[in-house]
Amino acid sequence: MNVHELPMIIFTVVAQMSVGAFIVLGVVQLVASFRHDARTVDRLTEPIVYAIGPAMVFGLAASMLHMNDITNTLNVFRNVSSSWLSREIVFGMAFAGLGFGFALVQWFRIGTFRLRQLLAAATALAGIGLVWSMSQIYYSLVTVPAWNTPVVPFHFFATAIMLGSLAVGSALVITTWVRRRGAAPEAGRTPAPAEQQPPSAGGGLMTAVRARVAEINEPTTLAEWALSARTIQWLAVASAVAGVAVLVSYPLHIADLASDPVGAASAEVFSGAFFTARLLLLSLSTVLLALFVFRTATSTVLERPQLLTVLITAAFVVALVAELMGRSLHYDSMLRIGI
């Protein structure tokens, strides 16, 4: 593992996962809205929106560790017209800011449904701009043969789709577990009626927040679980397709690098035990586990989601480790032409 580039490895992978999860969630919401009512769709997608923000903030914080002086970040606005690094940071801030705004208006139901959709679309576009800018930072370096190739943007977007799909799938089953636990009353205790509850110390705002938390944590219904299970099946397919595409791209990438002396030296990075382990983990998560997730989701009932939970969570964790290893190999392959 490339420890020196660890902050950038974490940032790029986590940011791409966050973007992928948001876009995948938007697609799920759009497709599900054709056959289900708005409440059912919101119950499926809403809790996951609030988990994407902290993940993105974690990734941005990790990237700051790569800078000697984080105050230099403010200088990026001077070079947006010419620097892909500046654009990356601007799009990253836009994605985080718009995403926070969307989560806020979604939580408090501010504005019309159409307005919230437009804000979500703007957030998704900022996320696509972020991943594209990330890839162009490396692709634009013509002196680094291993980076100056379409494989780099392809791998970055594949990471977004694969990890985003598995993250959303894992969140769906975890949300079901949380709602089940929250629905179980404490032993020997009868909940007091709403009118007998003590007044909220936080005033109207805290009362509204508590009401929204209670609404979101209401137990999952059979109809909602059926939609979740079907969604998890298609997410498993999406992650598997992205993973297989990455596996197929490696021989092509290595063959292309072998045609150049410096590229041939870079191609040697994609060999050995570390690279083999990366391929095995990627295969395990995208082919075997995704296949079992697809098959298990068809027969999993709401009362017994244990096996499905284990499978899709394992697929996500293994894929995350595989992508971190793949990003480490990406940085290891930086060999320049000339001095």
Report yes or no on 167 lying in a domain: yes
- Among 30, 26, 36, 25, which residue's Cα sits nearest to residue 224? 36
Provide the CB-side half-sphere exposure for 87 (13 A, CA): 16
CB 161 within 8 A of CB 16: no
Neighbours of 237 (CB within 10 A): 15
Residue 111: predicted pLDDT:
82
Instruction: Find the angle CA(135)-CA(137)-CA(70) to the nearest 5 degrees.
Output: 115
Residue 287: predicted pLDDT:
79
d(CA 20, CA 198): 43
- Among 43, 129, 122, which residue's Cα sits nearest to residue 114? 122
Report yes or no on 11 lying in a domain: yes
Residue 60: predicted pLDDT:
65
Q: What is the dihedral of CA 108, 111, 113, 118, to 10 degrees?
A: -110
Report yes or no on 63 lying in a domain: yes
d(CA 46, CA 44): 6
> Which helix (H) or strand (E) is 119 found in, with range?
helix 113-139
CB 14 within 8 A of CB 164: no
Report yes or no on 57 lying in a domain: yes
Residue 168: burial class (beta carbons within 10 Å; 0-12, 13-18, 19+): buried
Would you call 329 helix, strand, or coil by DSSP?
helix
Domain residue limits at 311: 6-182+213-332
Low-confidence ranges of the chain (pLDDT < 70): 56, 59-77, 182-204, 338-339
DSSP state for residue 82 in the 8-state scheme: T
Report yes or no on 338 lying in a domain: no
Provide the CB-side half-sphere exposure for 180 (13 A, CA): 13
CATH number (domain holding residue 58): 1.20.1630.10
- The model's pTM is 0.88
DSSP state for residue 75 in the 8-state scheme: G
The tokens of 23 are what? 């876009």
Contacts 24+ apart (CB under 8 A), 273-278: 274/1, 274/325, 274/328, 274/329, 275/329, 277/325, 278/322, 278/325, 278/326, 278/329
Could you report the per-residue pLDDT of 240-265, keeping only the tens digit for each?
Answer: 999 999 999 999 999 999 888 888 99
Could you report the per-residue pLDDT of 128-179, keeping only the tens digit for each?
Answer: 999 999 999 999 999 999 999 999 999 999 999 999 999 999 999 998 988 8
Report yes or no on 124 lying in a domain: yes
The tokens of 226 are what? 């059926």
Our measurement of the distance from residue 81's CA atom to the centroid of its chain's CA atoms, rounded to an integer in Å, reads 28
The number of domains in the chain is: 1
- Among 306, 27, 21, 35, which residue's Cα sits nearest to residue 169? 21
Cβ contacts of 74 within 8 Å, gap of 6 or more: none
Report yes or no on 191 lying in a domain: no
Rounded alpha-carbon distances, angstroms, from residue 307 to 13, 158, 168 = 27, 27, 17
d(CA 98, CA 90): 12
CB 66 within 8 A of CB 8: yes
Please give the radius of gyration of the chain, using alpha carbons only, rounded to the nearest integer.
22
Report yes or no on 230 lying in a domain: yes
Would you call 217 helix, strand, or coil by DSSP?
coil
